[in-house]
Amino acid sequence: MQADKAVILLGGKGTRLSALFPDIPKALVPVSGRQFLAWQLDWLLANNIKQVLLAAGYMGDKIENWVKQQPFKDQVSISIEPMPLGTGGAVKYAVQYRVGKESFWVLNGDSLLPDLNFANMEKAHRKSGVLGTIAVTAIEDSGRYGTVVFDKNGKITRFEEKKNRGAGWINAGIYLLDSSIFSSISPAENISIENEIFPKLAAEGKLSVFQAKPPLLDMGTPQGLKNMENYLAKKQEFSPPTSTSVIPDLIQPS
């Protein structure tokens, strides 16, 4: 069965942009004439994602009111966490009554990886037999990011914290996850996907990467927002990739 459901994580306060946009949630920050969430939803729907669940928190009511006015409102629903639950807790709270036993996508709510081939990532995920697959992309200066280290088979061996380094593979904030990952989490548990769930899965050999073509666009900082503006100003619409993307040969797996 195709993984056609996605959860977008929108619970953060967006503190690095709050000085510029103090009264609106980060997801609704205008980017090249549209709210960022509109761009992100267009991207997902163009890639055969049928239903999107917004895992909201801070200013979630404003996001909910915005969704009600959009043409894609029937394909989008929202869950507003009653308290900060971390990324893992937010997903659990959001999907507990909405997702069955199938795998589903999880995405950060402040980034785009426009050349990601969702279909190829899903094929790789199912072939590997893992419980989770992370989209990673290579950048020449990975210093402000943590990096993902993986073996020749794509199995993740460890995550490295931010440090002064050159080229590296970074987490692009897009995951395809088996629903069983969240079965043991209580609906009110505060837990992090990145810091608690993923390291455990990696240690068990149940977490892989999918190498995706850049750019990774991140509007979480003023400079990142400017870079995204420049990219999307030239973009008319999103469409699924028609061929296998070429991955930059910046760094080899360990």
Q: Tell me the β-bridge partners of 208.
A: 133, 155
Residue recorded with tokens 């199938």: 102
Instruction: Select which of 50, 162, 163, 226 is catalytic.
Output: 162
Residue recorded with tokens 């061996």: 157
For residues 254 and 149, the answer to whether their CB atoms sit within 8 Å is: yes
Q: Is 162 a catalytic residue?
A: yes
Query: What is the distance in angstroms between the CA of the first residue and the CA of the last residue of the chain?
Result: 33
Q: Nearest to residue 75, comparing CAs of 37, 122, 26, 41? A: 41
Task: Write the DSSP string, 47-116.
Answer: TT--EEEEEE-TTHHHHHHHHTTSTTGGGEEEEE-SS--HHHHHHHHHHTTT--SS-EEEEETTEE-TT-
Catalytic residues: 162
